[in-house]
Amino acid sequence: MIRLFNHKNILITGGTGSFGKKFIEIVLKKYAPKKVIVFSRDELKQFEMQQVFSGSCMRYFIGDVRDEARLKQAMYQVDYVVHAAALKQVPAAEYNPMECIKTNINGAQNVINASIAAGVKKVIALSTDKAANPINLYGATKLASDKLFTAGNNLVGDRETRFAVVRYGNVVGSRGSVVPFFKKLIAEGAAELPITDPRMTRFWLQLEDGVEFVLKSFERMQGGEIFIPKIPSMRITDLAEAVAPHLPIKVIGIRPGEKLHEVMCPADLYYDTLEFSDHFVIRPSTLLFGVDYTKNMLGEEGQLVSDGFSYDSGTNPNFLTVEELREMNP
C-alpha cells in the first residue's frame, strides 16, 4: 500500500458524522498523519469526538462549509481534503430546499475555492446514489455538487490541486438510516415494522468498505472522475426479516422524493462510464487535457460499458440474502 497520508495534513468536512468518525479511525490505524483536522458545525459532537480521538495529530475546527473564509483558514498547509459535510435527509430537504442548496451546492464551491487557494493536493467529495437521475431536492443538490467538483479541475490552471467524487449507496447503520430506526421501534416494543413499498431495493454498503474505497480512490484519481464501487443490493423486505423475523410488516406508502430503486451509473451516461474490476468510473463531461481515464494512477485498466448500461439496485446481479443482512446488522 502507498503510504499516501503519512506525515501529511488531512481535513475532513462534516468530520463528526458517521463517515468522518470511521474515516479518522481507519486513517489513524493505517497511517501516521501529521495532522487530521475535523471541520464541522456542532461543538457538542466535536467535544464527544475529542474523548475518543485525542491524539496529538488531531485538530477540531468549528466552522460551516457555507463560510469560505473559515474554510481557507482551516485548509492552511492541508494536503488532502475529504468533503463529507452535507444536509442529507430527503424529507428535510424537500421542506427546506434553500438551506440544502446553501450547504450542498454553495458549500461545495466554497470547498473548491478554499482548496485551490490553499494549494491542497487532492480533494474527494462524497456523493450519493440519489444524485443519479435525481427526483428529490437532496439528490439534485448532490448532482450539482458532483458537477462542481468534477469541473473544479478546470479552475486550477498550473496548480496541482485535483478534485474527484466518490458515489455510493446506503450505508449500514449510518445516522438517520433505516436500521437504527427499525431497532428503535423493536426496542420500544413495536408490533410491526413500517416499510414504504415491498418492491423497494437499495445498494448496501458497510461503512468500513466506504472508507476503504475513498482511500483507494485517492490513490487512483487523476482528477474529474466519479468513482462508484461495485456493491451488493438488498430488498427492504429482506432487511425487515433480517432485523426482526418475528414481526409483520406494514406497508405505509412511498415517501415524497423516494424511488423504488436507486441508480449509481445512469443509462444516459453509458458513453462516459468505464468498468474496472471492482468499480466503475464516470468520466467528466469536460475531459482534462492529456488524461486517459481508461488507466488510473495505480495502472488498473477499465473498459467502456455496453450501450445503455445502467447500474441499478433493482437489476444488480449481486443481492444480499437475509442471512448476510443479519450478519451485517448484528
Angle at 328 between CA 322 and CA 330, to 5 degrees: 95
Q: Please pick, among 8, 21, 22, 130, the residue that the annotation labels catalytic.
A: 130
CB 40 within 8 A of CB 68: no
H or E stretch at 226: strand 226-229
Rounded Cα distance, 316 and 321, in Å: 13
Q: Which residues contact 197 (CB under 8 A, 6 or more apart)?
A: 236, 251, 253, 254, 260
Round to whole Å and give the CA distance between 25 and 328: 19
Cell numbers 408490533 label which residue?
A: 191
SS (H, E, C) 190-215: CCCEEECCCCCEEEEECHHHHHHHHH
Secondary structure of residue 103 in the 3-state scheme: helix
Q: Which of 84, 10, 27 is nearest to 212 (CA)?
A: 27
Alpha helices (H) along the chain: 18-30, 43-52, 68-74, 90-95, 97-101, 107-118, 137-152, 178-187, 207-220, 236-243, 322-328
29 is catalytic: no
What are the residue numbers of the active site?
130
